[in-house]
Amino acid sequence: MLKTVSEAIEYRRSVRKYLDTELDEEKVKNCIRNATLAPNSSNMQLWEFLHVTDNETLKKLSKACFDQNAAKTAVNMVVFVARRDKWRERAKYNLDFLEDMFDKQEKKGIDVGRRRKVSRRYYKKLMPTIYTDFLGIVGYYKKILSFFIGLFRPIYREVLFSDTRVITHKSVALAAENFMLSMAEIGYDTCPMEGSDTSRVKKILNLPSKAEITMIIGCGIRAENGVYTERFRVPFEKVYKKI
């Protein structure tokens, strides 16, 4: 029986040891498909998901993850990759989709002039402004400019290369949560791992230098001792504020 969202959240734990039981790869793929539905910055979808099922590659990745149990016993791994370098391609995908949608609406007699103009400005001018940089120099110029404009009106301030890296990884992390909850829904277990030699991981997976590993998620069916401790969270009143 499938779990509700709340049940999946409650069920999901970072499982460190898995049974030697095969997963239905198509079901895992469907969970990755759910990951692509995650909210993300400007719908740029600057991500890539590598579903690793090959035993030799799993062994290599396990070594790159320091042979921690969540990697060593994983039946599958999914590598969540931030692809900030694909911003031009993804901006074009978005604009092509919107142009096609506006064309269809226009044929129905809907006035789309203003929205078409806004979309073109957003993906042809704003996205290049945000994602273009050269040795960090352009970013600092944009930072200074946003500071002075911000003295007079609200303005977007996350314009450095480091800022857009954070934005990209946040979007990928949202996708990873979609994936883990989708896995939990069907009774599959996961463990997100940040501990890895990312240079070796990229070499194993033939990823370009500009790709960045957000996290590697080990997947399987939890062993009896797969969850190391009871769940602990800081008291809710320490993290919740009503304003």
Q: Encode 155-190: b = buried (16+ Cβ within 10 Å), e = exposed.
A: eeeebbbebbeebbbebbbbbbebbbbbbbbbebbb
Average pLDDT, the chain: 95
Query: How much is the pLDDT for 161?
Result: 82
Query: How much is the pLDDT for 141?
Result: 74
Query: Under a CB-based contact definition with an 8 Å cutoff, are residues 193 and 65 in contact?
Result: yes
For residue 218, the surrounding DSSP H or E stretch is strand 212-220
Say which CATH topology domain 5-84+163-225 has: NADH Oxidase (3.40.109)
Residue 176 has pLDDT above 90, yes or no: yes
Query: How much is the pLDDT for 156?
Result: 81
pLDDT tens string 46-101: 999 999 999 999 999 999 999 999 999 999 999 999 999 999 999 999 999 999 99
Q: Which percentage of the chain shows pLDDT scores above 70? A: 100
Question: What's the average model confidence in pLDDT over 1-20?
Answer: 96
Query: How much is the pLDDT for 151?
Result: 87
pLDDT tens string 101-138: 999 999 999 999 999 999 999 999 999 988 988 777 77
Tokens 């692809």 belong to 83
Taking the domains of the chain in order of start, what are their residue ranges?
A: 5-84+163-225, 87-144
What is the secondary structure of 99-154 as a DSSP string?
HHHHHHHHHTT---HHHHHHHHHIIIIIHHHHH--STTHHHHHHHHHHHHHTTTS-
Query: How much is the pLDDT for 139?
Result: 78
Say what the pTM is: 0.93
Rounded-to-integer distance, Cα 150 and Cα 144, Å: 10
Query: How much is the pLDDT for 70?
Result: 98
